Amino acid sequence: MDEIRKVLLSVPLFKSLQEDTLENLIRSASLNTHTKKKILFIHEEKAERFFLIKSGWVKLFRETLEGDQAVIDILPQGHLFGEMSVFEGGVYPYSAEVVDKSEIISLPTNILKSEMEKNHDFALAFLDVMAKYRNRQDNEIEHRVIQNAPQRIGCFLLRLEKEEKDGIVRIHLPYDKTLVAARLGMQPETFSRALSKLKKETGIRVQGAYIEMDSIDPLASYSCIACSSEFPCGDLGKTGCSS
């Protein structure tokens, strides 16, 4: 229980919850461990619960009748998803699948809904989160339209956690390349070839999931030419909330 409380409190959106609501949420929470490929919910299903990732990775996506898949996002630890049912409609806006061993907390949305109606601060916090999310989505559309494959990869890398030592920048891909490809809306083959091209163009070095470079500048200028914003254009995954 205390563990769940700790995780909940780490979510920005929940900072403005009233104490009794928080208690209420915690009492109704359930923590489950899931393995790869577990489907948590399906697009357009009636949504009665929403989720919080304690650890692991979850893929959000939509699927056409023909089986083509559009990956919306891949979320790490600390992110909410499926909370949209608070609004009129109350169906999941996409499907969710665990892509790596994960601990997932599930919570009933009706508590969220009633909190939103009675707690003004919480409503404001929710608005704020939605606004941030919206910015992300706007950028996402732009990137998918304007950037080519190598640039999309570059832009993705630039927004990942970076580690700098002795003037060498190191980046670690957070999940396997096939998934990154899907996240960026391209085929694994295209990803592989585009990454090679990126190597040639910007001098980055790739060793499996590890990437390093002497400076991020070549990467930034190569990728960000095809973007409406200049380089430090915002981090991935800082909204604290994403579905």
Partner DNA sequence: CGAGGGTTTGAAGTGCATCAAATAGTGTGG
Partner DNA sequence: CCACACTATTTGATGCACTTCAAACCCTCG
Contacts of 176 (CB under 8 A, 6+ apart): 209
- Residue 193 contacts which entry, a copy of itself, DNA, none (Cβ below 5-8 A, type-dependent): DNA
Q: Could you say whether residue 91 binds DNA (CB under 7 A)?
A: no
Q: Per-residue string for binding with DNA, 151-190, x by CB under 7 A?
A: -------------------------xxxx-----xxxxxx
CA geometry: angle 27, 93, 22, nearest 5 deg: 20
Indicate whether 127 belongs to the interface with a copy of itself (CB under 8 A).
yes
How many CB atoms neighbour CB 45 within 10 A? Answer: 13
For residue 194, give Cα distances in angstroms to 21, 103, 214. 48, 33, 20
Check residue 191 for interaction with a copy of itself (CB under 8 A). no
DSSP assigned state of 139:
H
Which of 73, 83, 61 lies closest to 12, judged by CA?
83
Give the one entry of DNA, a copy of itself, none that residue 33 binds, where binding means its C-beta sits below a cut-off of 5 to 8 angstroms depending on kind: none
Closest separation in Å from C-beta 203 to DNA: 17
Tracing tokens 């990732």 back to the chain, one arrives at 53
Closest contact distance (angstroms) between CB of 204 and a copy of itself is 22
Asked if 208 is part of the footprint of DNA (rule: CB under 7 A), the reply reads: yes
| Residue 130: count of CB within 10 angstroms of its CB | 16
**93 vs 174, beta carbon nearer a copy of itself:** 93
Q: Name residues whose C-beta falls within 8 Å of residue 25's C-beta, 6 or more positions apart in sequence.
A: 8, 14, 17, 107, 108, 111, 112
| Per CB under 8 A, 141 contacts a copy of itself | yes
Tell which positions 110-139 bind DNA, by CB under 7 A: none
CA–CA separation, 166 and 131 (whole Å): 38
For a copy of itself, which is the closer residue by CB, 140 or 235? 140
3 state SS of 51: strand
Q: Give the span between the Cα atoms of 34 and 20, in whole angstroms.
A: 29
Secondary structure percentages of the chain, helix, strand, coil, to 5: 45, 25, 30
Task: State which residue, 159 or 177, has the beta carbon closest to DNA.
Answer: 177
Question: Cβ of residue 152: shortest distance to DNA, in angstroms?
Answer: 7
Binding footprint of a copy of itself on the chain (CB under 8 A):
43-44, 62-66, 68, 70, 72, 84, 86-89, 93-94, 116-117, 120, 123-124, 126-128, 130-135, 137-138, 140-142, 144-146, 185, 225-229
Interface ranges with DNA (CB under 7 A): 148-150, 176-179, 185-196, 206, 208-209
